[in-house]
């Protein structure tokens, strides 16, 4: 079964969901959450590639999908249908997989990117405009994973158990080289990693350290790194992020994470006031996104074959994978975690003030 036929199996969706979202109505007037609207889309908008809005509030038209298998990569967590992005992001992933292989990395395990039309998705604040991708710190194995293995295989944390520091038995020079190769793409603006990994790089990288400015410490990201590219040409509606600081980031801004950012929460005294009902988190509606996102949702779907990245290595033959029918409800209830293991019980505070990342 070719890769396009494999992905076509994902196009089936329940009649109930289809009946809700098939009409070309004004979604902005609907009380349905934007997350539900975008998660129900199984194919991209048949429009030229355009990014609208910012990384945490936007959408994408004309997205492409990365094949399930490439010469030097395997896509993971296929049931989420989050391997879509701007064509340039997909090109960078493919180019990075080749550079990584040249440096001794067996291949990339590609995690979450964006949904077919972007927008908010379960478990992520960003990943909305097709310019973000999670790449595992676990290298691709020699074998090709089955669908079930891609769902169940856990990524490996690079930290010591119960610690915020890197486990030297897990980290390797090849992982450093992988991050360096990613940082050297001009379009790449940020590589988000756990502060412990950033510290490891600060302590060990010799010679040219200029690329470290793109490696930014952030909560989580001990199982994978988050690669983000800047607004692409031809997308005037894309909202760029503030430029990352030019310094290597191995200064007091990094020390802040270990002094305050990752410090355990202090247990507060039990309040004596009467308990109030929990406030339900306000869901993002389509009206909160750029107006163009309504057009993106209403647009006709692009043919899957036309929306799939053409692998540069024409000699590569993708293996057969038996894919189940795509279920939008499972996508809505899925999590963003790359690990299937229960996280270590370390209390972490999330203060509002922190160094720029």
Predicted local confidence at residue 339, as pLDDT: 62
Q: Is 34 helix (H, G, I), strand (E, B) or coil?
A: helix
Domains and CATH numbers, the chain: 3-257+284-333 (3.30.1380.10)
* 279 confidence band (pLDDT: 50, 70, 90): low
Contact 320, 1 (CB under 8 A): yes
Q: Which of 91-95, 206-210, 261-265 has the lowest mean pLDDT?
A: 261-265
Predicted local confidence at residue 332, as pLDDT: 55
CA–CA gap between residue 1 and residue 284 (Å, rounded): 39
For 63-80, what is the mean pLDDT?
96
| DSSP result, 77-120 | -GGG---EE-HHHHHHHHHHHHHHHHTT---EEE---B-TT-S-
List all residues 6 or more positions away from 6 whose beta carbon is below 8 Å from its beta carbon. Answer: 68, 318, 320, 321, 323
Predicted local confidence at residue 51, as pLDDT: 98
Q: Give the side-chain half-sphere CA count within 13 A for 238.
A: 23
* 275 confidence band (pLDDT: 50, 70, 90): low
Predicted local confidence at residue 190, as pLDDT: 96
For 107-113, what is the mean pLDDT?
96
The answer, as to whether pTM is greater than 0.75, is yes
Strands (E), 176-223: 188-193, 215-217
Contact 197, 166 (CB under 8 A): yes
Predicted local confidence at residue 220, as pLDDT: 84
């Amino acid at each position: 079964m070719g890769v396009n036929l494999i992905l076509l199996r994902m196009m089936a969706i329940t009649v109930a969901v289809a009946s809700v979202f098939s009409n070309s109505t004004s979604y902005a007037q609907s009380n349905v959450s934007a997350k539900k609207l975008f998660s129900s889309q199984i194919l991209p908008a048949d429009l030229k590639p355009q990014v609208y809005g910012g990384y945490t509030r936007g959408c994408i038209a004309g997205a492409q999908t990365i094949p399930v298998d490439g010469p030097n990569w395997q896509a993971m967590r296929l049931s989420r249908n989050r391997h879509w992005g701007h064509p340039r992001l997909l090109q960078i992933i493919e180019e990075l997989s080749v550079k990584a292989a040249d440096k001794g990395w067996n291949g990339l395990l590609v995690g979450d990117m964006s949904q077919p039309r972007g927008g908010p998705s379960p478990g992520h604040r960003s990943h909305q405009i097709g310019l973000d991708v999670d790449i595992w710190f676990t290298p691709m194995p020699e074998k090709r994973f089955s669908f079930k293995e891609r769902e169940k295989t856990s990524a490996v944390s690079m930290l010591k158990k119960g610690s915020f520091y890197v486990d030297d038995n897990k980290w390797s020079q090849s992982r450093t080289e992988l991050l360096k190769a990613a940082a050297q793409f001009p379009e790449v603006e940020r590589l988000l990693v756990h502060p412990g990994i950033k510290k490891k790089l600060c302590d060990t990288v010799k010679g040219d350290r200029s690329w470290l400015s793109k490696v930014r410490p952030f909560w989580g990201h001990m199982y994978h790194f988050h690669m983000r590219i800047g607004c692409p040409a031809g997308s005037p509606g894309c909202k760029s992020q503030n430029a990352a600081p030019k310094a290597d980031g191995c200064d007091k801004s990094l020390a802040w994470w270990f002094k305050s950012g990752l410090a355990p929460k202090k247990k507060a005294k039990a309040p004596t006031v009467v308990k109030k009902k929990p406030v339900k988190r306000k869901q993002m509606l389509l009206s909160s996104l750029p107006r163009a996102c309504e057009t993106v949702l209403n647009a006709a779907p692009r043919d899957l074959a036309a929306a799939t990245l053409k692998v540069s290595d024409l000699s590569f033959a993708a293996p057969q994978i038996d894919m189940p029918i795509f279920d939008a409800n499972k996508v809505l209830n899925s999590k963003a975690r790359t690990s299937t293991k229960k996280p270590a019980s370390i209390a972490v505070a999330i203060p509002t003030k922190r160094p720029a990342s």
